[in-house]
Amino acid sequence: MKKKIIKLFAEGKLSLTEASNTAGISAGEMMDKLRESGINSKIALEELKNTLNNSLRFIK
């Protein structure tokens, strides 16, 4: 299942958040899985930053 999710992420069909939610793991864990699979996580890192910034707005 996670291999399919990683493939969909690599194809741009899932965002980092969607991929991690579908896999039932945190965004950080998904980034680790992406790295382990050889997927360039630069895009994922930018998306994670944006997700965190958006989340922080709700906390403040």
Q: Which two tokens stand for residue 31?
A: 């980034």
pTM: 0.67
Query: What is the pLDDT averaged over residues 48-59?
Result: 80
pLDDT at 41 over 70: no
Answer whether 27's CB lies under 8 Å from 48's CB.
Answer: yes
Between CA 52 and CA 60 the distance in angstroms is 12
pLDDT tens per residue, range 4-23: 999 998 888 998 889 999 99
Taking the domains of the chain in order of start, what are their residue ranges?
Answer: 2-59
Q: How far apart are the first and last CA of the chain?
A: 36
Answer whether 20's CB lies under 8 Å from 29's CB.
Answer: yes
Between CA 48 and CA 51 the distance in angstroms is 5
Residue 25's pLDDT is 94
Residue 24's pLDDT is 94
